[in-house]
Every structure is written in structure tokens, then in C-alpha cells.
Structure 1
């Protein structure tokens, strides 16, 4: 094989051929025995099908999969991003807009061989990538599935699309395997993160996770309009600046990169428990959409910190 062809292959293909991918999958599987896959660190034995915070035992559950055209344009390209939505989540966002999947667990259990077949099916449909949505609690199963799929011809970029509440130790198992990281940077304060997403120590965990992701893949690289490698950061603007956008943008600019691709998202609306409100002043503030002024403030925070990519 020519050197040019080797360098164009995704890293997971090369790791599959060397046997390293299978070894990573084996090591990740063992983490399930006393589960610390994510920062919740439940320490249940998921190999024996015990369930912790994410309500997922050994088998991953898939809610749906398809070419998706609603993601960021560098992921969508012409043929769509091959999204796989996993049921369950390692956070419980009071305002989750996909609560049927994340909290009500709408989905069906699949084997890792079945998950590999889904990836290959998405590639056959022309998708530019395989996009794992809410993968933080099923990393070992994803690694095993990629180990099945790579020798069978999977060779498109893999996208890790998470809430940003990830374990650095788990992310290190993905080094050289994930091509594109797409984490949320949800909050600037831990107290808000705990009340709204039940994610203890969110900001420190998110900061460490994004630094590790960026170390692995760097800033977003786009070729012919399609992302091939790098990181996309999402930040959802919340009413009353509950997300503390100024703190998030300062962190991204100063500790990640001013060339970061940051999607400042305006689509917040009261969903799930946020539509009920009333239990606390913070939750009560979530009972309305954001205003144009609130969104403009978040964009201005990004601009004032020298960020320019990914938002209007």
C-alpha cells in the first residue's frame, strides 16, 4: 500500500490492523466491571447487567439511526451525518429536548455486532461520518463495535457527540480512534450544572475533557466542505444567562484555542421538566425561550474573546 493511502485511512483502521483497537476494546470492557466509564463513577458491575445512573447495563440501546441533515454543516455535507442516537444518558438535564431518548429510555438493546452493522449500513448510504450521539456511557461497547466494523470495511470518520461530561481516562482509550469530537460546553458554574443537569463537578470535568479532546484531534479541519478531523464545540444559550456564556467563551479561547469552531446555539425552548418550573428560581427561569438580546450577548462574549468560527 502506498504511503499516501495509509495516511488517508482513519486512525481506527490502522489500529485495527495492528491489533491495538481490539486491545483498547478489551481494556474498556473491563472498566464496566466496576463502572467508572463516565464521571458519575457509579461502580456497578455492568458486565453482570447492573445499571447505574445511565440506566444502561451491558448492552447499548439505540433509539434510532439515519442520515441526519440537522447537524452542523461541516458534518452534514451533501449526504448527511450518519447519526446513531443512544438511549440513556450520564446527565439528567431538566430541559432536555430529547428527553424521550435520554430520560424515558426509548430505544432497543443491540449487540456490538449489530451496532457494527448499523455503522456499515450508514456508510453504505453515503453518510460522511458515523456520529455517536450521547456516547459517554457506552464507550466500551462502541469500541467493541468499531473493532467488528473496521475489518469489514468501515473507513469514514467517527464523531463523538457528547454533553462534555466525560472521563479523561475513558477519552484516552479513544485516542487515534475518534476523528471528530463534538462536545457541549454547557455551563460556567458547577452549582447551576448540578441543579439543571445533575452532573457533579461539571465544569472541571468538562474543561479537562475538552483539553484532552483537543490534544487528540486539534481544531476542526474541513476538506471540500466536509469535516475530516478536529473539534466542534456546542454552547446552548439559556434564559437569564444561566449557562454563564462569558465564562465558557473565556475558557474556550484561553485554554483550548481561538481557532475553535464554536456553535452558539439559539434553539432553547422549555422542554421536559423545565416546562413545569416552580421548584426553584433557577428552574423557574427556564420556563421561557431565550430573547434575541440574550443570544446576541453570548455571541458577543465569543467575539470579545477572539473566537470567530462556527457562529454568525
Structure 2
């Protein structure tokens, strides 16, 4: 396939064995872990966990990525589409409240095939927010829950930290499309999310104004109660930050408190992560579990 799934639109050749695009991945799926995950937002993890499937490779280039073993170093195991469907059903049998495709942007064609026949639980699209509207439209009716990041509204910051100056424009368009597809959040009787969009933002060191700008956009763009907002404070210095030394520290308490207060003043419904989440052990082990 000649791939234009993500906003980079590489038009790169991806065969079942070889990937020449920015994501470096072949057309056939490569994954690093499939297991129940308890550390998503409460209405997604619930009591039994979200059935997460972590894809290898990435169409972004975030210098601070805590999943760099799979996103930058491409660790993972090739699996067939048929096996991927089996893995989804195995996770459901283990009690997963939903099936959570993590970093799926460059495997949108695979997710679409897996979901040709609906799963018995909601399907979650858990992406960095760097998605093409055209790609998302091909998933309409198959994905029940969208869980995108919204990292930046400033192109220069997006270029410095994720090598994607067009990220703000792409993410805004993608999130609008996600909300159009899902409509307002809808829950079951126990409070689990059945359908809707949850927008995440990871606070970065020295970037509280960026967090506030993102929250302003969400508040102005969507009527109250349409989406949920997840303000994340789990940032942990990771990888080679020599070119971005300003990121080589944890968040200060004042940065977190300022962002949380701003979210509360806006009246954004959603979640605020506790400071104790900023630990390396919250990154799952990428050891081919469940594949």
C-alpha cells in the first residue's frame, strides 16, 4: 500500500514486511503488548480494566515519549489481522470493559478490518490526536470511544517537541470529527463510558500556558457536557532530552495546581491526574504479553 493514513501523507510504500514511511512500520500489524490496563480514566478502566493493545511505531516524534521502546525503537512482534481479532476476544474473555487500540493512527486500515464485525464491548481509538479526518471517517460506526491527546496549540512548540508543526491544525480537525461521530458522552448504569470523546492533555514542564490554551479551545469549541477533558500530570523525564533540556525535570507543584485551578474555573467536566502518577512504573512493560 502507498500510505497516506496520517497527516504526514508520506505516500510511502508499506508492504506486509517493509515500511518506508515516517512510522517505519509495515502494512501488517506489529504490536508490543495486549493486556488489561487499570490506569486509564475511571469510566474506561472501570473495575476490571481496559483491554489495551499497544501498536509499535508512531507517526509522531515526541522527544519525551514514555513509550519510546515501541514508538521510537520499534520493539514489537508481527501479528496477523486474524490473530489481532482473536486477541481482542481473549481480552473480552478476561473481563475487559472495552478494547483499547493504543497508538493506532498508522494502523487505521488494520483496526477497520478487525472491527468489520462489531466486538461485544466498545472499541476505543487511543491516539496522539495527529489523525486525518479522512482516515477517521473510514472508522465511523466502528469506534465507540475516541481518546485523543491534544498536545499543543502552538505550531513552534509542536515542531520542537513532536516534529509536527501542523499538529495544532490536524488535532483540532481530528477532534471535531471524533466528536461529530460519537456525539455527547453516554454511560451505562455503572458509570462506564459506552460512547463519546475524552480529550487528554499532558502538562509539560514550563508549558502551563499551553495547557490553558488547549482548555480554552475545548471549552469554547464544545458545549458543556459534550466531551470529557483529562488533565494529565504524569510527565516523567524520559529518553535523550539533550536538545530540549527544559523538559529534563518533573512538573512543579505550582504548575499542576495552576492548570487544575484553570480547568475547574472553566467548569470543564473530566479528570485531573494526581501528582503520584508521575512515576516510571506507570509505563506498562512492553514484553509481548498477550500476543
Q: 2:132 aligns with which of 157, 162, 167?
A: 167
Q: 1:289 aligns with which of 228, 236, 250?
A: 250
C-alpha RMSD of the superposition = 1.5
Q: 8 Å contact 2:208–2:255 — kept in the other structure?
A: no
Identify the residue that residue 87 of structure 2 maps to in structure 1.
118
Q: Quote the offset at 1:256 in angstroms.
A: 2.8
Q: Quote the offset at 1:61 in angstroms.
A: 0.5
Identify the residue that residue 282 of structure 2 maps to in structure 1.
none
**What are the ranges of 5 or more consecutive residues in structure 1 without an aligned counterpart?**
1-32
* Residue 5 (structure 2) pairs with residue 37 (structure 1): yes
SS in 2 for 1:239: coil
Q: 2:219 aligns with which of 248, 253, 264?
A: 253
SS in 1 for 2:12: coil
Go from structure 1 to structure 2 and tell me whether the alpha carbon gap of 1:266 and 1:50 turns closer, same or farther (over 3 Å shift).
Answer: closer
TM-score calculated relative to the size of structure 1: 0.83
* Residue 50 (structure 2) pairs with residue 81 (structure 1): yes
Go from structure 1 to structure 2 and tell me whether the alpha carbon gap of 1:311 and 1:258 turns closer, same or farther (over 3 Å shift).
Answer: farther
Residues in 1 aligned to 2:30 and 2:222: alpha-carbon distance in whole angstroms? 32
Q: 8 Å contact 2:182–2:197 — kept in the other structure?
A: yes
Q: Quote the offset at 1:288 in angstroms.
A: 0.6
SS in 2 for 1:199: coil
- Structure 1, residues 81-128: CA drift from partner, whole Å, max 9, x if none? 000000111111100111111111111011111111111111111111
Q: 1:155 aligns with which of 120, 138, 163?
A: 120
Go from structure 1 to structure 2 and tell me whether the alpha carbon gap of 1:51 and 1:161 turns closer, same or farther (over 3 Å shift).
Answer: same
- Structure 1, residues 170-213: CA drift from partner, whole Å, max 9, x if none? 00011111000000011121111111011230000000000000
Residues in 2 aligned to 1:112 and 1:84: alpha-carbon distance in whole angstroms? 13
Residues in 1 aligned to 2:14 and 2:123: alpha-carbon distance in whole angstroms? 25
Residues in 1 aligned to 2:138 and 2:5: alpha-carbon distance in whole angstroms? 11
Q: Quote the offset at 1:144 in angstroms.
A: 1.3
Residues in 2 aligned to 1:170 and 1:133: alpha-carbon distance in whole angstroms? 16
Q: 8 Å contact 2:203–2:231 — kept in the other structure?
A: yes
Question: How many pairs were matched up?
Answer: 270
Q: 1:244 aligns with which of 199, 202, 210?
A: 210
Q: Quote the offset at 1:304 in angstroms.
A: 3.2
Q: 1:304 aligns with which of 265, 278, 288?
A: 265
**What are the ranges of 5 or more consecutive residues in structure 2 without an aligned counterpart?**
274-291
Q: Quote the offset at 1:140 in angstroms.
A: 0.1
Q: 1:183 aligns with which of 140, 148, 151?
A: 148
Q: Quote the offset at 1:297 in angstroms.
A: 1.7
Residues in 2 aligned to 1:52 and 1:143: alpha-carbon distance in whole angstroms? 20
Identify the residue that residue 265 of structure 1 maps to in structure 2.
232
Residues in 2 aligned to 1:166 and 1:219: alpha-carbon distance in whole angstroms? 20
* Residue 160 (structure 2) pairs with residue 220 (structure 1): no
Higher helix share: 1
Q: 8 Å contact 1:189–1:243 — kept in the other structure?
A: no
Residues in 2 aligned to 1:91 and 1:243: alpha-carbon distance in whole angstroms? 22
Structure possessing the higher radius of gyration over alpha carbons: 1
Deviates more, 1:291-300 or 1:87-96: 291-300
Deviates more, 1:199-208 or 1:42-51: 42-51
